[in-house]
Chains A and B, each alone.
Chain A
């Protein structure tokens, strides 16, 4: 019953985000997932995040991350939470832009190398408690006031790479809108964005399955720095995860044109 209520509220909120006030602009600077869009070429982001995970036990997680893009299509992140290292890379292979809208597709790969001695669960953990490899596909549609993104791809614990059926599917569905300002006049305006994201995992064996919902609010300062607040909780949880509610706060700062300029684009690269 509780699940049905949560699901109903979530779907209602998402529809609300999608079809609300026509003045709203879409936002795809998601807090929990990556959009298919890439960072501006030659830019660097430094990011610091803190999260408290609760459930059967409580964990605190500090994560520091360096993100960079060498060109307009390729970007990478390197991060650590001091008991694990994570590496993420994403390549945008399709982009169709029009005025106030775009459709983009990308491929991603993520690897987490953990030194944690956490007790294994039947879910594959992505919070640095386990060594994990994942990859997949992202599609993002931005259309005026509506920005949605879907990601899906296989995931596997490093220790079970050789066993058949040990992996699963990781997926996400993200929506976002700009709440403030109602019209842009300068880069100095503080932006307030609202997000509603679903994050799910299903093991191929059918033994574990979860779908979490992660609402978030985001403040953007000077069109360059972000402050994110989010709370993630399970909608469906058929796992024995020890932690399943996560409160997070993170900030990041974008340095434009931080890396050296590359050669001019060739005509066939224009897309």
Chain B
């Protein structure tokens, strides 16, 4: 039922929500290649991920997707935590419906609500790379921000 509600919400909001094209994340808490491979395998096992490009030295992972509509940010986050590590930064490249970002204005990203964190306003190019400010990555409670 929970997934049905999330799915319905996602469907209804899809016309006004930004679609994630690719994700670049840096994982934290590791230095070994076996640990890096654990994250790689965990991310590769996600059914909406088509390709994972890794830089082992930098602990960075670039994810490409089969379809932007199917991207589940929370599953990406969980895959890294399941491998036993955390996320240092997550950058998303997305097509935003609005041409302008205004500070504290709400923006929907694959169905999740964020707010812009910037000085004043900025024009958005398409696609646009943004960073999730909060360490927990996705809104649980409180205000979650995107920045350029």
Contact = CB atoms under 8 A, between A and B. Distances in A.
A191 interface: yes
A97 B29 contact: yes
B15 interface: no
Contact of B78 (A26, A183, A264): A264
Interface size classification for chain A:
35 or more
Contacts, number: 107
Contact of B37 (A27, A29, A187): A187
B124 interface: no
Contacts of B83: 40-41, 72
Interface residues of B, number: 33
A71 interface: yes
B75 to A, nearest CB: 7
A143 B36 CA distance: 16
22 contacts: A25-B31, A29-B32, A38-B84, A39-B84, A41-B83, A43-B38, A95-B29, A98-B88, A99-B88, A102-B28, A142-B30, A187-B36, A187-B37, A187-B40, A191-B33, A223-B36, A224-B37, A256-B41, A264-B75, A265-B74, A265-B82, A267-B138
Interface of A: 25-29, 37-43, 71-72, 95, 97-102, 142, 144, 147, 178, 183-187, 189, 191, 220, 223-224, 254, 256-257, 261, 264-265, 267-268, 270
A189 B36 CA distance: 13
B88 A270 contact: no
Contact of B136 (A25, A71, A144, A270): A270
A264 B84 contact: no
A268 B81 CA distance: 13
A223 B32 CA distance: 9
B87 to A, nearest CB: 9
B26 A99 contact: yes
B34 A224 contact: yes
B86 interface: yes
